[in-house]
Structure 1
Amino acid sequence: MTEIRHIVFDIGRVLIHYDPDLPFSRLIPDAEERKWFFDNVCTHDWNLEQDRGRTWAEAEALLIGEYPGHAENIRNFRRHWHEMVPHAYDDSVAIMVGLIEAGHDVTMLTNFASDTLAEARQRFDFLNRPRGVTVSADIRQIKPDRAIYDHHVAAFGLEPSATLFIDDSQKNVDGARAAGWQSVLFTDAETLKTDLERYGIRA
């Protein structure tokens, strides 16, 4: 097994919680109506394009043109974004910070809109602790496409086979492996500790 010299963390649902239902359970109290809204209006794929670099103004205009009756809740997605990320996963954060303090090379690679990540880094100071971050929207590339992994390697001088990636999405884990990285699927902090130990890393 290749010795791991670089550790790369995803952010959402690995270090900080993310759940659009949190504000929308108040904004659209009816569960069926709320499900329809997320399935048809502010969909995962629509939100992913902001992670790819589309502006919120463009994104909102596109949907309001198609669903004018839902204009307020379309705008509410960005307006109430801060409620969707209410807290950090303290146990995961402790692992990451511990790795940094032990001298490991730690960076982050995330699918995130530029402005919301800037907001998150103001709220959660630990996001400023790693050596750096690749933000999908900033480079208009997105996981699990090969290009974003190659960009991260080049930007931070990593050796792919000596890099361990931690992400909560199996597609993104598979994307990292296809780019020649080692990678583990994040489920919880205790499992992550076990995974790190398999690579000879004490967390």
Structure 2
Amino acid sequence: MNKIDTIIFDLGGVLIDWNPEYVFLDVFDGNRKKMQWFFDNICTSDWNENQDAGHPLAKATEERMALFPEYKKEIEMFYGRWVEMLGGAITGTVSILKALIDSKNYKVVALTNWSAETFPIAQEKFEFLQWFEGIIVSGEEKTRKPFDDIYKLTLERFQIKAENAIFIDDNLRNIEAANALGIHGIQFKSPADLKQRLKNYNIIL
């Protein structure tokens, strides 16, 4: 096995708890079925990912309201109340991040699908975002995971050899895209599981 010298972290769902349910479960009076229908048909994951790739939030909101005028109020809330969807840090993973950085054995960077317009809010809230050697934010680069170009950009910008890097992400689709380029991948399930999976690469924390 090649020596691992770089760890690439995803942020949302790995280090930061972000969930639109924090707003919309209340909006739909606790009715999970109605809320899920809204996420599946109106403010969908694909729609949100367009903004992660640089599409302006205001324009995206206007376009969606034009398509679904009967949901105007709820659509406005998606980015209007975005701050309330931002939960706390996933503390177990933050501890792993700190241990990796403190060891001085690894280059530690982040690769996140995140709107450039909302990312500064997270930077202000979470001090550990300053610990990384660098962060690739999809919205700033006008592309996103799982497209090859954002992984290649990460490797090039931080002078990383794919075979010497581990990429940690909660989304299997993103892991598979990294694997296709020769980057080792760990699908994040929990901090305890991550710690165990890192041991498989002889990374003992």
The CA deviation at 1:32 is: 3.0
Aligned in 2, Cα 1:32/1:195: closer, same or farther, shift over 3 Å?
closer
State the TM-score, normalizing by the size of structure 2.
0.96
Equivalent residue letter for 1:34: M
Query: TM-score, normalization: structure 1?
Result: 0.97
Report the Cα offset of residue 40 of structure 1: 1.2
Comparing 99-108 with 78-87, greater Cα deviation is found at 78-87
Equivalents in 1 of 2:28, 2:110: separation in Å? 34
- Tell me, what secondary structure is at the counterpart of 1:106? strand
Q: Give, in angstroms, the shift of residue 202 of structure 1.
A: 1.6
- What is the alpha-carbon distance in structure 2 between the residues aligned to residue 83 and residue 13 of structure 1? 16
Tell me how far 1:83 sits from its aligned partner. 1.6
* Aligned residues between the structures: 203
Which residue does the alignment assign to 1:66?
Answer: 67
Counterpart in the other structure of 2:114: 112
CA distance in 2, matches of 1:155, 1:50: 23
Secondary structure in 1 aligned to 2:74? helix
Indicate the residue corresponding to 2:18 in structure 1.
Answer: 18
Aligned-partner Cα distance in 2 for 1:44–1:109 = 18
Q: What percentage of aligned pairs have identical amino acids?
A: 33
Aligned twin of 2:36: 35
Q: Secondary structure at the match of 1:115?
A: coil
Q: Which runs of 4+ in 1 moved over 6 A?
A: none
2:178 matched to 1:176? Answer: yes
1:9 maps onto 2:9 in alignment: yes
Deviation, 1:35, is 2.2
- The residue matched to 2:174 in structure 1 has which SS? helix
Alpha-carbon distance, 1:118 to partner:
1.3
Consecutive unaligned residues of structure 2, counting only runs of 5 or more, are none
Q: Distance in 2 between matches of 1:19 and 1:158?
A: 31
- Report SS of the residue matched to 1:17: strand
Report the CA distance between 1:31 and its aligned residue: 3.0
Give 1:49 shift: 0.3
Cα offset, 1:169, TM superposition: 0.8
What is the rounded CA distance, in whole Å, between the counterparts of 2:19 and 2:148 in structure 1? 27
> Which residue in 1 is equivalent to 2:197?
195
* Pairwise CA distance, 1:33: 2.5
CA shift digits 1:72-103 (9 cap, x unpaired): 11110112112212111101001001111111
- How far apart are the structure 1 equivalents of 2:87 and 2:19? 9
CA drift at 1:37: 1.5
Distance, in Å, in 1 between the alignment partners of 2:169 and 2:62 is 31
What CA RMSD, in Å, does the superposition of the two structures yield over aligned residues? 1.0
In 2, Cα distance between the equivalents of 1:134 and 1:31?
Answer: 34
Distance 1:195 1:72 in 2: 44
After TM superposition, give the deviation of residue 47 of structure 1 in Å. Answer: 0.4
Where does residue 136 of structure 1 map in the other structure? 138
Q: What is the DSSP-based 3-state SS (H/G/I as helix, E as strand, rest coil) of the residue aligned with 1:87?
A: strand
Which residue identity lines up with residue 16 of structure 1 in the other structure? Answer: I
